[in-house]
Structure 1
């Protein structure tokens, strides 16, 4: 279970400023104590004995001497003696305060930087494959707290990414294993029949060819999906409306064969984007609208631009889609009727590919189920 904790926010000093103030206070405090020690030492420890000058015709002026019944720890009778005592006292006080300052600095620095140990522990767990651990960030909003929040965000992103990869691998293995097993079964049946004639073998070859073409389409879509997610994005100036009309002309024969009315409306401003990926995204949206439709239905593409970017809306008639699960259509190998079971009718990678392309451009793909059946896909591409 994930345990996330939001550190309290407030107008507090930053970590750097607090460390600076702490160490500055230690230095000032040590300096004050050092001055006090030197002063007390020079005031009470040595006995000052200076020979007074003897005036003409008089007796020596009494100087300060050690009181009766006491023993002086040291005696100073010259300027050199005073300086020597000051130097010794200063070194002694400096050594004491250096030790005290080091101990205090070690203690306060340890308390201040203690959260780094939690971050290190979380990093070790993440390196071992445990991504559900979160750092409990306690304290003011400083650099370490922000680092903890960022690290938690990274762990959450990695956890979701690895979970999606595991689902993708499982779905891909199922999608490819089923047609391969079907092909093997058809070949085994044909080989087991010693009386199979040429016509029967030709029918088998045609069925294997159809199955193989479906596998090729699936593998190509997998490669496109991986390439769109990992390739460095090379941008160029495009006009989305022109790209949409070019794709619509290219897919017009498919729409006519499926008895679908395909229409494009609207204009758009120029956009800085990858022309190949945008073409592929539009192609998948329109192709999806044609494929998952019914004879006599429609597929409408509306494009517009504003200050926030370009909006491409593709709406089509078709079978009823559950509004609560419509977002799953953006996952690999999911079709309008749910998780795929047989080949044909698409490989279930079109909308996931559009999602990846949109994210690569900083945009989004929003799917909405139409009340009367069919789907509406809104592709938003921000101005860059």
Structure 2
């Protein structure tokens, strides 16, 4: 008889799920803790009962008895006899009954204790579900002894604080970036519409339109480049090499000298000190450039700039202070945020894109440093870029 070839369906093994059946649901942590606690108590009791029972079976005791003497009189003597099996069986039954009660009691106590200990985890689970749905406002604020669960709850609250702050910063950044990019585009659209609506527009008008569109496009390119610099600084993954901070400051001052002269601002003298830090030379140059450019652009005609570069206690400190309008103390921290300008949200020609100090702060953080801001009593701003010096320089 010819052999019929088997089909692929016949050769394939049955699905693992059908062979194994539906996956059983795992016990909860509370149930497992309860079973563990009750099992330990019951097991310890069973071992103790077994040891006592075996010991009593082999142990002989002296019991009072009677014996007939040679003269027919009676005298009390102690006979050594083994314990009767009825007594042992009764003792074993009573012990097993007590063990069952002990197991039930330990299970109830374990269930209650485990529930009380794990109650914060249930609250944390509900808060995590609420956070997953987009609401980050709920906090555990767990009270009680300082144990592992309390530490976990506090860490969870700090994580939510950080997430909420980051999300709020991201939303502000997205809104401000959209505004900064939309405004010049809308302006360009208006200029184009006005020119096209004039059928008698001259070549000179068209050239003027092209020039203004070029200026608008240049501003947009600068904003996008600044956003890329900010993203690179915030990434944390930066290239590192030895950088002479004094040389960087001198090069930036030379490049900004024409703009300072045009604005009537007296630039500071280049620093005459060797301060070597370890970091990304491009990002550090961008940070120094932003600090000094802000000091020039946010100054008053005839104003000056004070600059000091020092090395103290393993730290390099670049201090830049300028003359200018008064900066309220409550606005200092907001100056670190993207698209926030010292003179408000308005954008004026040559005032920058509002990302300067945000980039400096991000560069400082990427190099394990900090940007310190303080308002001058007579007007203007003092910014201090604090960075760790190179390890070899710190030992000097």
Residue in 1 aligned with 2:321? 315
Please say if residues 334 and 340 of structure 1, whose CA atoms lie closer than 8 Å, have aligned partners that are also in contact: no
Residue in 2 aligned with 1:123? 128
What per-residue deviation string (whole Å, max 9, x for no partner) do you get for residues 116-157 of structure 1? 112222211211111111113121111111221221111112
What per-residue deviation string (whole Å, max 9, x for no partner) do you get for residues 6-65 of structure 1? xxxxxxxxxxxxxx9xx999967995899699989x99xxxx9x9x9x999999x9999x
TM-superposed CA distance for 1:313, in Å, is: 0.6
Tell me the TM-score normalised to structure 1 length: 0.76
TM-superposed CA distance for 1:308, in Å, is: 5.2
Residue in 2 aligned with 1:211? 216
TM-superposed CA distance for 1:327, in Å, is: 3.0
How do 1:127-138 residues align onto structure 2 when only pairs under 5 Å count?
127-138=132-143
Please say if residues 284 and 350 of structure 1, whose CA atoms lie closer than 8 Å, have aligned partners that are also in contact: yes
Tell me the TM-score normalised to structure 2 length: 0.74
TM-superposed CA distance for 1:218, in Å, is: 1.0
Q: Does 1:250 align with 2:265?
A: no
1:276 is matched with which residue: 262, 277, 282?
282
Does the C-alpha gap of structure 1 residues 86 and 239 become closer, same or farther in structure 2, counting only changes over 3 Å? farther
> SS of 1:272's equivalent?
strand
> SS of 2:141's equivalent?
coil
1:289 is matched with which residue: 295, 303, 307?
295
Residue in 2 aligned with 1:70? none
TM-superposed CA distance for 1:267, in Å, is: 3.0
After TM superposition, the structure 1 stretch with the greater mean CA deviation from structure 2, 291-300 or 152-161, is 291-300
1:165 is matched with which residue: 164, 170, 186?
170
Q: Give, in whole Å, the separation in 1 of the partners of 2:90 and 2:247.
A: 92
Q: Give the gaps of 5 or more residues in structure 2.
A: 1-32, 392-396
Please say if residues 42 and 102 of structure 2, whose CA atoms lie closer than 8 Å, have aligned partners that are also in contact: no
Please say if residues 142 and 150 of structure 2, whose CA atoms lie closer than 8 Å, have aligned partners that are also in contact: yes
Please say if residues 37 and 106 of structure 2, whose CA atoms lie closer than 8 Å, have aligned partners that are also in contact: no
Please say if residues 266 and 304 of structure 1, whose CA atoms lie closer than 8 Å, have aligned partners that are also in contact: no
Please provide the CA RMSD for this pair: 4.0
2:309 is matched with which residue: 300, 303, 317?
303
Residue in 1 aligned with 2:181? 176
Does the C-alpha gap of structure 1 residues 211 and 360 become closer, same or farther in structure 2, counting only changes over 3 Å? same
Q: Give, in whole Å, the separation in 2 of the partners of 1:285 and 1:29.
A: 73
Please say if residues 268 and 310 of structure 1, whose CA atoms lie closer than 8 Å, have aligned partners that are also in contact: no
Residue in 2 aligned with 1:236? 241
Q: Give, in whole Å, the separation in 2 of the partners of 1:334 and 1:109.
A: 52
How do 1:2-13 residues align onto structure 2 when only pairs under 5 Å count?
none
Does the C-alpha gap of structure 1 residues 235 and 35 become closer, same or farther in structure 2, counting only changes over 3 Å? same
Q: Give, in whole Å, the separation in 2 of the partners of 1:379 and 1:138.
A: 40
1:327 is matched with which residue: 329, 333, 342?
333
TM-superposed CA distance for 1:91, in Å, is: 5.0
Does the C-alpha gap of structure 1 residues 244 and 55 become closer, same or farther in structure 2, counting only changes over 3 Å? farther
> SS of 2:267's equivalent?
strand
Does the C-alpha gap of structure 1 residues 187 and 293 become closer, same or farther in structure 2, counting only changes over 3 Å? same
Does the C-alpha gap of structure 1 residues 77 and 147 become closer, same or farther in structure 2, counting only changes over 3 Å? closer
Please say if residues 265 and 304 of structure 2, whose CA atoms lie closer than 8 Å, have aligned partners that are also in contact: yes
Q: Give, in whole Å, the separation in 1 of the partners of 2:271 and 2:388.
A: 20
TM-superposed CA distance for 1:175, in Å, is: 1.4
TM-superposed CA distance for 1:197, in Å, is: 1.1
Q: Give, in whole Å, the separation in 2 of the partners of 1:58 and 1:247.
A: 131
TM-superposed CA distance for 1:348, in Å, is: 0.6
Q: Give, in whole Å, the separation in 1 of the partners of 2:314 and 2:39.
A: 54
Please say if residues 38 and 89 of structure 1, whose CA atoms lie closer than 8 Å, have aligned partners that are also in contact: no
